[in-house]
Structure 1
Amino acid sequence: MNPLARSIEELLPARFSDNLWCFISVRTALVLSSLCVAFVLPFFGLVMALVGSLFSILMAVVMPALCFVKILGKTATRTQVVLSIAIVALGLVSACVGTYNSVSNLVKKY
């Protein structure tokens, strides 16, 4: 939520965005709007599980390992490359299993 709140604050005029009440009200409005969306959408938890299992694994596990190998390039040792590839493979398998599980739960409920 913080990056979104900061982006909204940057769009506001300086006299508003420098105020503590603006800081509090923007974040409170974002949390309340998220709460309203969670109550309105019937399968919000299942959809969030789908998004989390697909994108969170990719961003938290797969991409750092790939970036590590890309940044080090030819200076990476063989062990580092093998471990990074193993992490990527395990992350992709986990993402596939989690996504399949989330989609199957969504189909069962729908």
Structure 2
Amino acid sequence: MVSFFLQEKTYALTLTPLAMSLEELIPSRHMKTHLYPIMIRTTLVLSTLCVALSIPFFGLVMALIGSLLTMLVSLILPCVCFLSILRDKVTRIQGLLCIFIITIGAVSSVCGTISSVSKIIDKLNQ
């Protein structure tokens, strides 16, 4: 049950930037009402539902994308950017910690990707 609520919040957080960028395209005189934001968000949710129902193993594809991109964006890229921006000012401990975090992120990404790909292959062979 807790997993469901966590996924529900993650879904809303994922759609919010897209909805906000679409809302910026609407002229400001129309944004006085809440009708347009409600229509945009409803359309996004319904389109996601249609995609999820039309692809037989949508969850597995999303797990694959998540395992590849989440670790890259949340662990690997921040450390790489930190090391590249502060190249000469990084202490030895900071450098080792960044390398450790990059390694953990890469290993986690590889394990998640292998798991997702194997489950997709199993689903295709059924």
8 Å Cα contact 1:54/1:95 also seen in 2: yes
- Residue number in structure 1 paired with 2:107: 93
Structure 1 residue runs of 5 or longer lacking an equivalent are: none
- 1:52 corresponds in structure 2 to 66
1:35 to 46, 49, 68: 49
Normalising by structure 2, report the TM-score. 0.81
Instruction: Give 3-state SS (helix, strand or coil) of 1:42's partner.
Output: coil
Moved more, 17-26 or 74-83: 17-26
Structure 1 residue runs of 4+, over 6 Å off? none
Contact 1:10/1:17 (<8 A) preserved: no
Map 1:7-22 → 2, pairs under 5 A: 7-22=21-36
Q: Identity of counterpart residues, as a percentage?
A: 48
Question: Any stretches of 5+ residues in structure 2 without a counterpart?
Answer: 1-14
Structure 2 residue 68 is matched with structure 1 residue 70: no
User: What value does the CA root-mean-square deviation take over the aligned residues?
Assistant: 1.3
Q: Is 2:112 the partner of 1:108?
A: no
Total equivalences in the alignment: 110
- Is 2:40 the counterpart of 1:26? yes
Q: Relative to total residues, which structure has the larger helix share, 1 or 2? A: 1
Query: TM-score of the superposition, structure 1-length normalised?
Result: 0.92
Amino acid in structure 2 at the alignment position of 1:100: I
